[in-house]
């Protein structure tokens, strides 16, 4: 049995044996199963749709009616933003349970993708009737609940128990796919929504969600028995985990609970990106560029548009070389989506270079986090495979400190803004600074957290535990909306700088508490690193 012999095998050999036992395609790309990269692209298009829409949500709501928006106040917009993101991350609790008990992971992913496609289509019709907008949000929440926890669960199932370094590296690669989609979604949907029309941006998000569903549907056989409903062949893993002493299982679950609580503090601060940081970009940042600065931005924007596309296209070519013969349909639909995306990218770059005035879209700053993730993820993936690989709680603490430092930069950059000012012209540098530090923090928290949930949770509850993880993430998002909605009040009574200082101290204090708890949590993990 693979479990009995894994201690005498290296991680690559144990992985090969695990794949064979579960009927998974054994071809490798970058030393990982090709199934990981099918999941990479499926998740990439889902994140394209989610972040593409999210980049427009707050801006659409607060924009004036003459500009096609709804002219909501900032607190009203951020309240809806908070409730929506909260529901998006809470729904995986139900979706994980449905997959665990009824459908299996794969059917849940396909159904969720279909429902989200319909949700984006409904939002694109907001100009016909406002009710379509709310219907679209509801469908996106339901679809996400079915999709999100279960595609992550499949990633974990591709790797055997004890294959910790490979699994950590796999989740970092998967996370790079998440952020490739987020980057491209914000860039394209944000640009189309702000420059052409809000409903066009909402609709574009749905098109690529549909492609993601098709490429996963036609590539299912790559996963063998993994992700099927009530699969019997995965009992090898289940039997080993059920044999663990109840105390070990309980304490490992407690570690997941503690890390989930601290992830609330991280996302409370980090998710200001879709709320108060978006408002800061729209109303307090110098976005009208002229002369040399405008030309420089056009070239930077063009490079940021084209080169990431080249990178993910190279991944697609690598996958196609391994999987095209046996799984032609999944490669076809993925390639078709890339052809459309390349057309949009070339159109966007050409349109910007022909424009007389250079105005940076407020949504553009949202791509910085995803860009830095794509740029830095390979480094962190390799770093976690070296001897410098601290425990999960320590990584979390590091991430919390870095996200706090990002807001320290924004607080400093906003010091010159007068108390109560509704608009200002702060340098773009401070938003870029903040997103860079936030990204380092995110790489220490989010992919690491996904990996630890998969390693610590009992196999029969893994989908549900991912749901709990996303519930806490959702709670952080909701609190981000609530606290972000205080921007006008705190600015009027104190200053914008004071507002951002609050988000400097919250994560740093949480990090110090977590560092104190780290030795106990490491003991409770019982050998899981």
Are both 487 and 398 inside the same structural domain?
yes
Residue 14 domain-assigned? no
Residue 235's pLDDT is what? Answer: 44
Length of the chain: 529
Q: Are residues 66 and 198 in the same domain?
A: yes
Tell me, yes or no, whether 281 and 294 share the same domain: no
Residues 422, 510 share a domain: yes
pLDDT, position 2: 40
Are 397 and 346 found together in one domain? no
Model pTM score: 0.86
- SS3 of residue 287 by DSSP: coil
pLDDT for position 75: 93
5 within some domain: no
The pLDDT value recorded for residue 529 is 66
Does residue 416 sit in the same domain as residue 435?
Answer: yes
Phi, psi angle pair for 235, to nearest 5°: -65, -20
Distance (Å, rounded) from C-alpha 206 to C-alpha 193?
13
* Residue 78 belongs to some domain of the structure: yes
260 with 378, same domain: the answer is yes
**Residue numbers in the chain where pLDDT is lower than 50:** 1-7, 232-241
83-95 in b/e form (b: 16+ CB < 10 A) is: bbbbbbbbbbbeb
Q: Quote the pLDDT of residue 9.
A: 64
- Residues 110 and 226 occupy one common structural domain: yes
Question: Cα(220)–Cα(465) distance, rounded to whole angstroms?
Answer: 24
| Interval 258-280: pLDDT, tens | 999 999 999 999 999 999 999 99
Residue in this structure with the two tokens 């159109």, named with its chain if needed:
347
Q: Quote the DSSP letter at residue 468.
A: H
CA distances, 109 to each of 59, 220, 226, 457 (Å)? 30, 11, 13, 20
Residue 25 within a domain? no
In a domain, 18, yes or no: no
Q: Which one-letter DSSP state was computed for residue 367?
A: H
The whole-angstrom separation of Cα 469 and Cα 452 is 11
CA-to-CA separations, 204 to 30, 170, 299, 320, in angstroms, rounded: 31, 29, 24, 25
pLDDT at 400: 97
CATH number of the domain to which 522 belongs: 1.20.1250.20
Tokens 């490079």 sit on residue: 303
Total domains present in the chain: 2
The rounded distance, in Å, linking the Cα atoms of 529 and 524 is: 11
User: Residue 146 CA to chain centroid, in angstroms?
Assistant: 16
Nearest residue to 87 via CA among 130, 136, 121, 138: 138
In which region does residue 227 sit, left (phi positive, over 0), alpha (psi from -120 to 50) or beta (all else)?
Answer: left
442 and 454 share a domain?
A: yes
pLDDT at position 92 is 83
Residue 236 lies in a domain: no
Residue 28 pairs in a beta bridge with 33
Residue 153 tokens, joined: 């669960």
- For residue 457 the two structure tokens come to 């949770």
238: in domain? no
* Closest CA relative to residue 167, chosen from 1, 4, 384: 384
Domain ends where: 327, 359, 391?
Answer: 359
Boundary-marking domain end, from 338, 359, 380: 359
Q: At what angle do helices 367-383 and 164-195 cross, to 10 degrees?
A: 170
Burial of residue 255, with CB atoms counted within 10 A of its CB: 0-12 exposed, 13-18 middle, 19 or more buried:
buried
Q: Report if residue 15 sits inside a domain.
A: no
- pLDDT tens digit sequence for 385-444: 777 788 889 999 999 999 999 999 999 999 999 999 988 999 999 999 999 999 999 989
Q: How far apart are CA 102 and CA 527, in angstroms?
A: 32
Q: What is the DSSP string of 145-159?
A: HHHHHHHHHHHHHTS
Q: In terms of domains, do 316 and 394 share one?
A: no
**458 lies in the same domain as 485:** yes
Domain boundary among 318, 342, 359: 359
- The whole-chain average pLDDT of the chain stands at 89
Q: Which domain holds residue 313?
A: 31-231+290-359
- The rounded distance, in Å, linking the Cα atoms of 141 and 50 is 10
Domain match, 101 and 65 both: yes
CA distances from residue 302 to 160, 308, 309, 492 in whole angstroms, order as listed: 42, 10, 11, 38
């Amino acid at each position: 049995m693979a479990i009995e012999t894994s201690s005498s095998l290296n991680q690559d050999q144990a992985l090969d044996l695990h794949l064979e036992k579960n009927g998974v395609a054994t071809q490798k790309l970058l030393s990982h199963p090709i199934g990981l990269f099918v999941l990479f692209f499926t998740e990439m298009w889902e994140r394209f749709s989610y972040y593409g829409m999210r980049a427009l949500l707050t801006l659409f709501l607060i924009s004036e009616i003459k500009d096609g928006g709804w002219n909501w106040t900032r607190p009203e917009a951020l309240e809806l933003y908070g409730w929506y993101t909260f529901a998006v991350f809470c729904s995986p609790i139900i979706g994980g349970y449905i997959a665990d008990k009824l459908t299996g992971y794969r059917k849940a992913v396909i159904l969720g993708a279909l429902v989200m496609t319909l949700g984006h289509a409904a939002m694109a019709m907001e100009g016909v009737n406002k009710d379509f907008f709310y219907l679209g949000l509801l469908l996106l929440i339901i679809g996400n609940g079915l999709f999100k926890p279960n595609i992550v669960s499949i990633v974990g199932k591709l790797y055997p128990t004890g294959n910790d370094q490979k699994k950590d590296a796999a989740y970092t690669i998967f996370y790079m796919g998440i952020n490739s989609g987020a980057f491209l979604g914000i860039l394209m949907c944000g640009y189309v929504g702000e420059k052409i029309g809000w409903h066009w941006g909402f609709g574009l998000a749905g098109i690529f969600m549909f492609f993601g569903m098709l490429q996963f549907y036609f590539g299912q056989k790559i996963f063998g028995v993994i992700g099927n409903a009530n699969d019997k062949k995965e009992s090898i893993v289940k039997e080993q985990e059920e044999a663990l002493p109840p105390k070990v299982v309980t304490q490992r679950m407690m570690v997941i609970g503690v890390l989930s609580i601290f992830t609330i503090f991280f996302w409370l601060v980090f998710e200001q990106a879709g709320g108060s940081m978006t408002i800061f970009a729209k109303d307090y940042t110098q976005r009208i560029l002229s002369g040399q600065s405008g030309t420089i931005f056009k070239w930077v924007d063009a490079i940021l548009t084209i080169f990431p596309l080249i990178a993910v296209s190279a991944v697609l070519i690598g996958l196609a070389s391994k999987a095209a013969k046996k799984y032609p349909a999944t490669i076809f639909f993925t390639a078709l989506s890339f052809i459309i995306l390349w057309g949009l990218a070339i159109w966007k770059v050409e349109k910007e270079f022909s424009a007389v005035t250079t105005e940076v879209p407020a949504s553009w700053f949202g791509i910085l986090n995803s860009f830095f993730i794509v740029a830095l993820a390979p480094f962190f993936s390799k770093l976690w495979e070296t001897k410098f690989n601290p425990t999960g709680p320590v990584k979390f603490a590091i991430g919390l400190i870095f996200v706090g430092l990002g807001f320290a930069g924004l607080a400093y950059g906003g010091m010159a803004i007068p108390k109560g000012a509704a608009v200002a012209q702060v340098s773009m540098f401070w938003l870029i600074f903040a997103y860079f530090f936030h990204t380092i923090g995110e790489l220490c928290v989010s992919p690491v957290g996904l990996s630890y949930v998969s390693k610590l949770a009992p196999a029969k509850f893994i989908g549900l535990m991912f749901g709990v993880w996303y519930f806490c993430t959702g709670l952080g998002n909701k609190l981000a909306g609530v606290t972000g909605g205080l921007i006008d009040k705190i600015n009027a009574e104190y200053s914008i700088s004071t507002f951002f200082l609050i988000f400097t101290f919250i994560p740093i204090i949480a990090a110090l508490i977590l560092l104190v708890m780290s030795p106990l949590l490491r003991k409770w993990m019982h050998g899981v690193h």
